[in-house]
């Protein structure tokens, strides 16, 4: 049960980072697990993170399709945003500067805690390609963060 709770938390964090709305992230997380368990009630719990993230990613895409006519904006609850440190804000800004594919790799690896193999499977690329994309994304973020920190000094 504890492993399921940890998995739920990882999926929720991933959703929240994608949709930036705590209520929507909670709904998507719940829908993810409902779809996951409905597929096959005998699935080994916690062993197929890549499949969970694939469901989650698709549900996040669906969320934005439904919202397509509305203007998208950051929807941080005031208390959550006010508690963010300058470092967290800089990292979030660096993440937003990445292209979608690089951002997805970083989210899955570092927010979701997936292995290289699971991330590659989720995104639909080889492990070698995942490693290359991850390295490129981290280098881009590093350059941005070094520039941002130098500017602040």
Please tell me whether residues 92 and 71 are part of one structural domain. Answer: no
Please tell me whether residues 36 and 111 are part of one structural domain. Answer: no
Residue 128 has pLDDT above 90, yes or no: yes
Contact 3, 44 (CB under 8 A): no
Please tell me whether residues 69 and 109 are part of one structural domain. Answer: no
> For position 71, what pLDDT does the model report?
46
The tens digit of pLDDT for each residue in 77-109 reads 544 545 556 677 778 888 888 898 999 999 898
Please tell me whether residues 52 and 118 are part of one structural domain. Answer: no
> For position 68, what pLDDT does the model report?
58
- Among the candidates 55, 83, 111, a domain finishes at 83
Tell me the residue range of the domain where 9 lies.
Answer: 1-83
Q: CA–CA separation, 34 vs 50, rounded Å? A: 16
Overall number of domains in the chain: 2
Average pLDDT value for residue range 3-29:
89
pTM over 0.85: no
The tens digit of pLDDT for each residue in 32-84 reads 988 888 876 666 655 578 888 889 988 988 888 877 545 444 454 544 545 55
Please tell me whether residues 77 and 97 are part of one structural domain. Answer: no
Q: What is the CATH number of the domain that holds 140?
A: 1.10.10.10
Q: For residue 131, what are the contacts with CB-CB under 8 A and spacing of at least 6?
A: 116
């Amino acid at each position: 049960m504890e492993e399921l709770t940890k998995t739920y938390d990882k999926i929720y964090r991933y959703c929240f980072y994608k949709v930036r709305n705590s209520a929507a992230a909670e709904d998507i997380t719940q829908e993810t697990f409902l779809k996951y368990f409905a597929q096959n009630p005998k699935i080994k719990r916690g062993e197929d993170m890549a499949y969970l993230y694939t469901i989650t990613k698709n549900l996040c895409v669906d969320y934005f399709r439904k919202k397509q006519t509305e203007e998208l904006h950051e929807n941080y609850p005031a208390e959550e945003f006010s508690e963010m440190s300058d470092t967290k804000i800089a990292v979030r800004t660096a993440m937003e500067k990445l292209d979608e594919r690089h951002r997805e790799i970083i989210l899955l690896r570092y927010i979701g805690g997936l292995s290289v193999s699971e991330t590659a499977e989720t995104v639909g690329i080889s492990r070698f390609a995942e490693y290359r994309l991850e390295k490129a994304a981290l280098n881009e973020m590093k350059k941005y963060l070094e520039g941002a920190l130098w500017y602040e000094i």
